[in-house]
Amino acid sequence: MSVTNNPQSGQISIGWRLRTDKHLVYENIRQKVYRIVTQVDSQIKEYFVNDTGVKAGMVALQEDKVLMVQQYRLLVDKLTWEIPGGCVDEDETPDTAAVRECLEETGVRCLNPKLLIYYHSGLETSYNPTHIFYSDELAEQKAELIHKNEIHSQAWIPLSTCLEMIRRSEIQDSFSILALLSFWTSMSQYAGEHKTG
C-alpha cells in the first residue's frame, strides 16, 4: 500500500483512501474543531474532529501515595479527584509540560520524570494525544507556586485507595483512570519479576 503526503494541500492519500482538505469550523483558546470528509471507494463520510492539542500528566509518588488534585468539572457538575496535568505548550516537550503542570497545580516539583503510557483518547473525532509520566523524586514543596484558581484542594492518597475510588466511580476521568491503572500494572509486573524465594 502506497502512502503519499502533501502537506501543502493538507491531503493524505493511502492506497485507495483519500482524506480531503480539513476546514476549520470553530476555534477558541482551548480547542479547534475541523470538518474532514473522507472517501473510501464510493463511500463518503463526514467527520467533525475536536482538536484539544497534546496533553501531559504526572503520577507523583511519595512512598505508597499518589499526589491527587481536586477540580470542578462541568459535565459531572462536581469536584473530582485527578492526577495533575494539562496541555503541552508549543515550546514544550511532554515531560517538561507534565512537570510544569504538577508544579503549577500543587507546588511539587517532580524530577527525572519517566514515561508511563502514551495513548490517544479517540481515533476519529477527538485529537488529544496524551503522555503520562511518573516520578518519585520530588523537590521541596513551595506553597507560593500553587495556582489556587486551578484546583480546589490536593492530597496524598494511597494508591490502593485510588484504585478503590475508581471502583466506586469516585475517580471518573479516563486520563486519571488510565494513569493510575497503568502505574499499578507496571508496579505489579515489577514486583512479580523481582520475587525472591
Give me the phi and psi of 179, to 5 degrees please.
Answer: -65, -50
CA distance 177 to 130: 13
pLDDT tens digits along 122-139:
888 999 999 999 999 999
CA distance 32 to 74: 19
Task: Kindly report which listed range (75-79, 130-134, 150-154, 190-194) carries the lowest average pLDDT score.
Answer: 190-194
How long is the chain? Answer: 197
Q: What is the CATH number of domain 55-193?
A: 3.90.79.10
The pLDDT, as a whole number, for residue 49 is 93
What percent of the chain shows pLDDT beyond 70?
A: 82
The DSSP bridge pattern shows strands 126-127 and 43-51 to be: parallel
Tell me if 52 sits within 8 A of 87, measured CB to CB. yes
